[in-house]
Structure 1
Amino acid sequence: MSGLKLFRTDTTNSGMTEVMPRLAEVEADVQGLVETHMETLLGVRFLASEYSTGPVLGGRIDSLGLDENGSPVIVEYKRGTDAGVINQGLFYLSWLMDHRREFEHLVRDRLGAAAAGQVVWSAPRVICVAGDFTRYDVHAVREHRRSIDLVRYRLFGRDLFGLDPVASVRGRQSQDKPLRPGRTAPHAATGGDRTAALDELADAVDEVLRGLGDDVNRVQRKQYRAYQRLQNLACVCPPQKTKLLVYLKAAPTTVDLVPGFTRDVTGLGHHGTGDLEVQLRTERDLERAQALFRASYAAA
């Protein structure tokens, strides 16, 4: 996986033994692993396996799901390298866009009416999980107008499963620069210097989060702005009167919480995803938060 080498320590003789990577015996083994743990691995709630597209097309979508931001997700799997996996996923995506009501009924049956009512159709996704991809595959996804993730997998030993995001491209609609968080009209001077300062801070947060890597994509939602790798790494809410709230994927248990700056919100309701809340009031707070941003990037 991109030259990654994995070693197991040997406490008996203080040595190291390399754990050799391998592909699955059959494609179904990869599909079974991902579907069983889809939310942990991809940040996607599992809906259905081998979903039929009907007698006319005669096809079956490997997996259907719903991501953290309410976007429909198609997951297609290949044991090794297969040039057809991207086109196959896009073919099924076109079918899905023509059968929105059917998908929403599926969401209602699996996840409930509330989830079905919040499905967002502006940026449906295709995730391709395969043994490898060619440079032509990576180029192809960057030429499309759809949201596509290429993810390379490897098995290590008997109980280790690795995922390596190779390329991640978001559809043009979600990439357009939105209004500042919470704005529904052009900025007006209605909050004085403090409002302007928080708007500038929000812009600075946007720059820092998108600068973490070329694979960070911004997804605008009504109540928050998500920064997504394979999963959400951060969600930024519209500025409040005195602060900007950012929710991160980094685990609160790995952080020394500071009252007034960081807070564990596990199990508490809030917009977006992430159990670590960061409260930003000044540029100095943003500087303090950058290590947390990087930890969330690594976790996503």
Structure 2
Amino acid sequence: MSGLKLFHTMSGSAVEVAPRLAEAEADVQGLVEAHMQAMLGVRFLASEYSTGPVHGGRIDSLGLDENGSPVIVEYKRGTDAGVINQGLFYLSWLMDHRAEFGHLVRERLGQPAASQVLWSAPRLICVAGDFTRYDVHAVREHRRSIDLVRYRLYGEHHIGLETVASVTGHSAAPRMAARRRAAGIQRARTEGGAMTELAAAVDEVLLGLGDDIVPVQRKQYRAYQRLRNFACLCPPRQTKLLVYLKADPGTVDLVPGFTRDVTGLGHHGTGDLEVQLRTERDLERAQDLFRLSYAAA
């Protein structure tokens, strides 16, 4: 149970807004599906998607996240030990029906989105009233990307979402990190090596912000994801690195040559705040912005 307390302040007093569960599972599902991109960073594709007469099931929600990863969302009103296994069952079905999912993406989001589906990182998001310590332990034993998200309703117009556990399916992450560092040292001996070393340092800083961060590698960028992306690191350029953050540019004192508002401008990755890094000193200056974006994800 979350220890978060919410208060409504008015007329000099503070009145606690008591959290509550939804009346029915469908109420949670309908609310999240209506605002899935804002709440989960996932583009909604389908609700109650049938897995066919042989499989005999219905996936609560199907979506595509910011990096093109297929997403299954399963909901429970309260605590239900079966939600994780149920979701993993559907995730296994999805991996065996990639062409069907690709057709759905093409139909709903268009061919460009369908051609960019990232099958190396499918995700399961479980949204429920609560989870047990056994649930948290169970997801850590799987080689899938799983997010456990606790919800609470406050009053008539507010919902709180809290990530209880977030596990990446990339079990070889430590070995990959070691190979990245070794590759960075080797490439640093060639032209552009300084930017490669700086990129490795940025990677280390971003991953060090929390234990719940999942890195997702795409050709055009490397995303750093909690429930949603909070940072995207583009491949090194000759003289600088570009990092895109989810921090609101309107709340940041923009510095020419260092930070830029790219709202509405096309770029790789996600986020409206562009940070330009050229030196380790720039990286030090950027760390407060990294933390700001991480906290907002």
TM-score, normalised with respect to structure 2: 0.95
1:245 to 234, 242, 246: 242
| Contact 1:123–1:174, Cα closer than 8 Å, also in 2 | no
Instruction: Answer yes or no: is the 8 Å Cα contact 2:229–2:246 preserved in 1.
Output: yes
Amino acid of the residue matched to residue 281 of structure 1? Answer: R
Aligned to 1:77: 75
1:202 matched to 2:199? The reply is: yes
Which secondary structure state, in structure 2, belongs to the residue aligned with residue 55 of structure 1?
helix
> Which residue of structure 1 lines up, in the alignment, with residue 147 of structure 2?
149
The match for 2:287 is 290
Richer in helix (by share)? 2
Corresponding position of 1:89: 87
The verdict on how the C-alpha distance between 1:220 and 1:173 changes in structure 2, with shifts beyond 3 A counting, is farther
**Counterpart position of 1:56:** 54
**1:223-262 alignment to 2 at 5 Å?**
223-262=220-259
Please state how far the C-alpha of 1:204 moved relative to its aligned partner.
1.3
Cα offset for 1:190? 3.0
Contact 1:122–1:173 (Cα < 8 Å) also in 2: no
Shift of the 115–238 alpha-carbon distance from structure 1 to 2, 3 Å rule, reads same
**How many residue pairs were aligned?**
293
2:67 partner amino acid: N
SS of alignment partner, residue 187 of structure 2: coil
Taking the aligned partners of 2:271 and 2:227, their CA distance within structure 1 comes to 14
RMSD (Å), alpha carbons: 1.7
Identity of aligned residues (%): 78
Residue identity matched to 2:292 = A
Matched with 2:261 is 264
| Residue identity in the other structure for 1:263 | R
The Cα of 1:220 is off from its aligned counterpart by: 1.2
Partner of 1:17, secondary structure, is: strand
> Distance between the aligned counterparts of 2:171 and 2:259, measured in 1?
32
1:262 offset after TM fit, Å?
0.3
Superposed displacement of residue 173, structure 1: 6.1
- Deviation of 1:174 after TM superposition, in Å, equals 7.7
Deviation string, structure 1 residues 251-274 (Cα, Å, up to 9, x no partner) = 111111111000011111111111
Look up the SS of the partner of 1:18 in the other structure. Answer: strand
Aligned to 2:122: 124
- Cα pair 2:187 2:196 within 8 Å, conserved: no
Aligned counterparts of 2:206 and 2:189: Cα–Cα separation in 1? 27
